[in-house]
Structure 1
Amino acid sequence: MLSWHNETADLVWVYPQENAELAEKIVKEFRIHPVVAQVFVSRGFTTLEQIHTFLYGRLPDLCDPFLMGGMPQAVQRIAKAIEQGEGILIYGDNDVDGMTGTALLTEFFRYIGANVFFYVSNRGAHRGSLIVEALEYALKNECKLLITVDCGITAAGEIAKVVENNIDVIITDHHAPTDKIPNCIATLNPKLVNNSYPNQDITGVGVAFKLAHAVTEHLTAEGKLPPKKVDLKRYLDLVALGTISDMGTLQGENRILVSYGLHELAKRKRLGLSKLMSISDVDLNDLSTFTIASKVAPRLNSLGRIDDPQKGVQMLLIRNAVAAEKMAIELDLNNIERQRIERAMAVDIESKLLMHPEILSKKAILMHSENWHPGVIAILSTRIAKFYNRPTVIMACDDKVAKGSLRSIPEFPLLPVLDQCSDILVNYGGHDFAAGVTLKLEHIEEFKRRFIEAAEATLKDSDVLTKLRLDAKINFDELTFDFMESLKLLEPYGNGNPQPVLYCDAKQAFPPKVLKKAHLKLYLVQGEGDRMLEGIALGKAAQSPLLRKKDLVLRIAFTPQINNYQGQSIQLMIRDFQILGSSQEIDPLPPLL
């Protein structure tokens, strides 16, 4: 059986580049461990100023919200709506980025006295116009201003219908425009060609936060808000949750927002989120981007995938403890159902790959089925694209259209290809490496043909090899608790700032132990030392027979972590290993390339 969903792929190791002079300067300037200095070198930092900004970015270093094009017009229109008591509808996308941004603006506007409503469409099933659904809700509640969150930039036609009904529109979005820019009061989007906002990678909730920041500054300057009435830090838990969930790049402004946001999350001031973290078994003493992405975000995302995302916003805003507990349990059950659907789809996809091996012979993977849930395809397209390191399109079909989730690799941006296919697409949008499409069933095969042709013409064989990028070489005697503490300087980890992958040569002290029929526990020593470290190699059990030889030397690539079981120890999470031979046959480790 294929095992793309539970094992590791064959990896091509990419060794780090070395710059001894720069590394030495980094060590002296910041008094950090040489291995940590090498991580900065490996990741392309070239100046001490860049590293200082990375290590010591603070809230005052955030970009001025008025640098974003359209912000003055947006703020003026919102101020008018507040002054005249007009209804404001916050319309958000159905993922966690959209939910958190919607909750942020709803709570903010309530706090400053605005007449505000919120609406999040359910995209879990194939439907027609989504923003027009929000229009009906806006008309019902006599709203005169609609503010989108994490959506709207590709909906010029739908926005026009809203405007025709005498409702002004402000778009806040971070997706790339694919066609005509909607005609509205203001469009806040850092990816617009004429937008000079410095942070191109800000998420939907991030743009919503910048809008709240700008409105606060404007109303305070006008004397309509008392100074310090609004503490914007209270919203950073939502910004962190949305940014982590949307895989926002954790560099620059995003890194600052998430760093402070994690501290706000740990305070558990938001009742619904606190209950959700409790039921998700989140340890507040070990709160990290990983625990948010793996435990909290999936439960919220399950609403947008298979249920009603309105509940997600309600959960983030709720103030009743009993209701919050009930909703947290409901979200947990939803996530269990989402996992069941996902497992069934994974089995079906695996079966198709076995029956049609030609699918994997191309430089892009495209599959469709009427049996797949449209709310879950994004999870599987992400996983398959990561495992095979190639552009992937997974499409769920009903009786009229196919809805596709696309994921890609750095060498193959999606939007230019989708632009070339626009004549056969009902709609499309997103980012260069994560996008969505809708197309009629009769156009599926043509879309597949064009997409695969583009991939074959663009990608080299080396581009689709799955790579493991190494950050630094290290010895066991350097793996101390002080070193582990110094690694924390690099947190928070995430997209654009992954956990460092270190490497070294080590000898097996004992043959490995197979765990749960899938993983390996390795017992490793280095040189003549008597210190043994344990390593866990996930998904590597099949290689156990190769590791039975005594004194076998391995080159291991790993991330170190603290293991708190029966006292503290340092454990190696082994990403990959290479068998070098017996200890008598091994040449010294080569210098960095």
Structure 2
Amino acid sequence: MISKWNYLPLTSEERKIEAQLETRFPKCPAIARLLVQRGVKTWDQAQDFFYPQLSQMHDPFLMRDMDKAVNRLNKALGAKEKIMIYGDYDVDGTTAVALVYRYLQNFYSNMVYYVPTRDDEGYGISIQSIDYAASIGVKLIIVLDCGIKAIGEISYAKSKGIDFIVCDHHVPDDELPPAVAILNPKLKDDKYPFKELSGCGVGFKFMQGFAKSNGITNFYDLESLLDLCVVSIAADIVPIVGENRIMACYGLKRLNSNPNVGLRSIIKLCGLSNKELTISDIIFKIGPRINASGRMESGTESVELLVTKDSAAAYEISKRIDKYNKDRKELDRQITEEANKIIESHKNQIKGKKPIVIYDRNWHKGIIGIVASRLAELYFRPSVVLTYDDNGLATGSSRSVRGFNIYAAIKSTRDLLETFGGHTNAVGLSLKEENIDEFRRRLTDYVEKHIETDQITPQIDVDCELGFEEINNDFLKYLRLFNPFGPDNPKPVFVTKNVYDFGTSKIVGKKMEHIKFELVDSKSEEIMNGIAFNMATYFDYIKQHKPFDICYTVEENKHRNSSSVQLQIKGIRIHGDQAAGDGHAS
């Protein structure tokens, strides 16, 4: 249950900007506030936000080493060198490999792609892969979505006469690998204006740079690959702002109109063929299936799916991947249940501000990242889930809660670790089994000192208060333009106070656990439909025709040529009874 509704405040300066923008939205002033909350200050900026253009993207040569990377690639093509396109086994890595491989196929054929296996090779660049590359005559490896910490491996590759171009977006260390070029906007001295690209996004910028350096002015072949970018952006949960938002907008258009053969096959398998696809569809349906290949078997199959032009082959690969996903879901359920039992039997370990750190030698390595995410969401704690690696190490994944930098927390224990890497919200790591207890103690100490109480308190951010009469056609038209939603551009949450049951609300669901609402508020006669999942405990109060407050998102349900509005209720606050409510306004 949500214990706090957190109203997002505006500064005095932002309120002035809001007042100026409101003149542009006389029938829906709430739109002005939503824009200000997203950093929009002028009408021109609002137009850019509502109608993003590919021309707004930054020059790829603003990125450090872009000239070196492009020159080395051009040299390889001119000398007809064999090139390996190498990437991580997750969605971001496999889409990045597919994008670079498919684009370069327009100009060059002496290429192979390679995705390491999670079980045999583990994350990142493996010595095994370098030996394989040397055995088939590879002279250049373009590595995507990993490699920023592969100092030893890339040094080994150099001794074999193999150059590396690293395209990564993970946080780098002070010491960098000896690659010919490193493309990563997070490098300390990198002046690139946008820092939050996905791994596939960095690959896209590299191909932009390659095209520009060769005088290619028709960008259709490259822009047609943005469906891969949006899948990576959604699945890797990077902020959907700046260039990511532009690529996501155009990628969604492509995904809905003419996706590549492999993605079309996955979309069909998900039962989404006749639906307008959203970021949520990628996160919950498309992404997990592509990810399942790398989690359960080999990410190579995902790349095969994403590069094939054969519909029949794509369908066969999709069926195998769907089977992996079903197996993954069963393992996910089983391990999550086991993890919850461990936590329930050691509740003292997560009292106060303590994080979750659990270990089981028998858990599947490909599932623990998902389990860590579930535990962080369920217990509102930074969570680390570890299992045993065939290399004799405990290996695991961590996930954070909102606003807490788990990367910095894990980094504080680096002397205990064999490897680690990732983002502020998610980190992969490995360590010796004998170091687990000390790792838990040190991580707990760091978290307790640095985490804020609000960061482990269930809460929901509320954008603004709204009356039902404000949910008009103009409001809905502008609200659609805030898409695509995601991190740093979340779906707006509204509060309406003093609403009443119209008399026709009812309990629904197999277990009668949901409420299907028909509501009115105190300021208009508008009847608003809504759905509140798992909130049936409020039903008796609501049927007494007493006022209550709701927070919600506005959803549009489309039926052929018509659409209807439904409020998805996220919280209910009963007047005069905070203990019974979902939360309190703050």
Tell me if both proteins adopt one fold, taking TM over 0.5 as the criterion: yes
Please say if 1:558 is aligned against 2:552. Answer: yes
How far apart are the structure 2 equivalents of 1:15 and 1:497? 16
Displacement of 1:437 = 0.5
How far apart are the structure 2 equivalents of 1:547 and 1:171? 60
CA contact (8 A) 2:3 2:457 kept: yes
Sequence identity (%): 32
1:389 maps to: 380
How far apart are the structure 2 equivalents of 1:128 and 1:433? 18
Displacement of 1:43 = 4.1
How far apart are the structure 2 equivalents of 1:77 and 1:50? 38
**CA 1:411 to 1:249, structure 2 compared with 1: closer, same or farther past 3 Å?**
closer
Displacement of 1:151 = 0.3
SS in 2 for 1:575: strand
1:350 maps to: 340
How far apart are the structure 2 equivalents of 1:32 and 1:276? 41
How far apart are the structure 2 equivalents of 1:412 and 1:569? 38
How far apart are the structure 2 equivalents of 1:71 and 1:43? 30
Please say if 1:322 is aligned against 2:312. Answer: yes
1:501 maps to: 493
How far apart are the structure 1 equivalents of 2:5 and 2:436? 36
How far apart are the structure 2 equivalents of 1:449 and 1:530? 58
Q: TM-score, normalised by structure 2?
A: 0.92
Structure 1 portions without partners, runs of 5+: 1-8, 583-589
SS in 2 for 1:427: strand
CA contact (8 A) 1:82 1:114 kept: no
How far apart are the structure 1 equivalents of 2:350 and 2:337? 16
- Cα deviation, 1:536-559, whole Å, max 9, x if unaligned, reads 122324x24653551122210001
Amino acid at match of 2:471: L
How far apart are the structure 2 equivalents of 1:128 and 1:267? 34
Structure 2 portions without partners, runs of 5+: 578-583
1:585 maps to: none
Displacement of 1:313 = 0.4
SS in 2 for 1:552: coil
How far apart are the structure 1 equivalents of 2:532 and 2:119? 36
SS in 1 for 2:23: helix
How far apart are the structure 2 equivalents of 1:47 and 1:404? 45
2:28 maps to: 33
2:7 maps to: 15
Displacement of 1:230 = 6.0
Please say if 1:81 is aligned against 2:81. Answer: no
Paired positions, count: 571
1:237 maps to: 227
Displacement of 1:126 = 7.3
2:361 maps to: 370
CA contact (8 A) 2:493 2:551 kept: yes
How far apart are the structure 2 equivalents of 1:388 and 1:44? 31
Displacement of 1:409 = 3.2
Residues 470-489 of structure 1 aligned to structure 2 (within 5 Å):
470-489=462-481
Moved more, 176-185 or 439-448: 176-185
Aligned-residue CA RMSD (Å)? 2.4
CA contact (8 A) 1:514 1:544 kept: no
How far apart are the structure 2 equivalents of 1:359 and 1:50? 48
Moved more, 401-410 or 186-195: 401-410
Moved more, 253-262 or 453-462: 453-462
How far apart are the structure 1 equivalents of 2:287 and 2:544? 45
CA contact (8 A) 1:94 1:121 kept: yes
Amino acid at match of 2:549: R
1:426 maps to: 418
How far apart are the structure 1 equivalents of 2:124 and 2:59? 35
Please say if 1:456 is aligned against 2:451. Answer: no
**CA 1:481 to 1:92, structure 2 compared with 1: closer, same or farther past 3 Å?**
same
How far apart are the structure 2 equivalents of 1:145 and 1:475? 60
Amino acid at match of 2:408: P
Displacement of 1:498 = 0.9
1:586 maps to: none
Q: TM-score, normalised by structure 1?
A: 0.91
SS in 2 for 1:311: helix
Please say if 1:295 is aligned against 2:281. Answer: no
- Which of 149, 170, 187 is equivalent to 1:154? 149
1:286 maps to: 276
- Cα deviation, 1:166-201, whole Å, max 9, x if unaligned, reads 001110000001352001100111011111111100
